[in-house]
Amino acid sequence: MLGAIIMKYTIKKLAELADISTRTLRYYDQIGLLKPSEKNNNNYRIYNEKNVNKLQQIMFYRALGFPLKKIKQLMDDPNFSEITALREQQQLLLAKQATINSLLTNIDETIKNYYGEGKMTDKDKFKAFKEQQIASNENEYGSEIRSQYDPKIIDKSNQKYINLSESDFKKMNQLEAEMIKNLLDLKHADKFDKQLASNIYQEHKEWLEFTWPDYTKAAHRSLADLYINDDRFGSYYNDKAKEDVVKLLHDVIYQFTE
């Protein structure tokens, strides 16, 4: 009785199959993301079906915008399950599809509004962009946030963000800009300014309250910990300030939530 045919691919053949470059596969090998199953006598990389399945999942994650560092972290987890990952990727892609559909609907309604065939409120004009931001945040930070907080609270927070009026949305952005400015002033001050630090804490608290259903000091501290324990969270503020301010923000939050 003939056994099942075992498919094996050289790096060139796998690159052609997946429509990616051999350079990409070499880099995945270099960083330990996708190691070939073996190397032949000529030291050529050889990939088996297990490698093919893993590459498919890597490409799903990449299509969703996951950075390679995060993909490796997920797939190196001893509890990683291929079928669970596929189901999660399916849900994320459906959410992405819904966001694109929402943007297309928004464009269609805007065109009709332009020709006087419909009426859009100012809130309607920006709803799709808020939904897109939420989807982006879910892709980037969703698993960590939902492990720290009740998923129902996260959903309420997302809905509160969508329902923000145009004036509240502007206030939220202005408040964040003022907080970043104060963080930089505090960082470069000759000595610690407690009043300025208090302002920063209050501004950050009020900024969160635009979207948080309920504010607690414990939740604020937990978020501050994410800022310094995960570069993806901390880089948000460092990029805004164009300087390293996230540790200072963390310490200010801790000081005023004791």
Average pLDDT, the chain: 85
> At which residue do the structure tokens 């052609």 appear?
16
9-76: CATH number: 1.10.1660.10
Q: What average pLDDT does range 70-78 have in this prediction?
A: 90
Structure tokens at 239: 């990029």
Domain-by-domain residue ranges, the chain?
9-76, 82-148, 166-255
CA dist., res. 25 & res. 44, Å (int) = 12
Residue 39's SS3 state is strand
Dump pLDDT digits (tens) for 57-69: 999 988 888 889 8
- Measured CA to CA in angstroms, residue 126 lies from 106, 114, 131 at distances of 9, 15, 9
CA dist., res. 200 & res. 194, Å (int) = 10
Dump pLDDT digits (tens) for 163-178: 888 788 889 999 999 9
pTM for the structure as a whole: 0.51
Structure tokens at 75: 């797939």
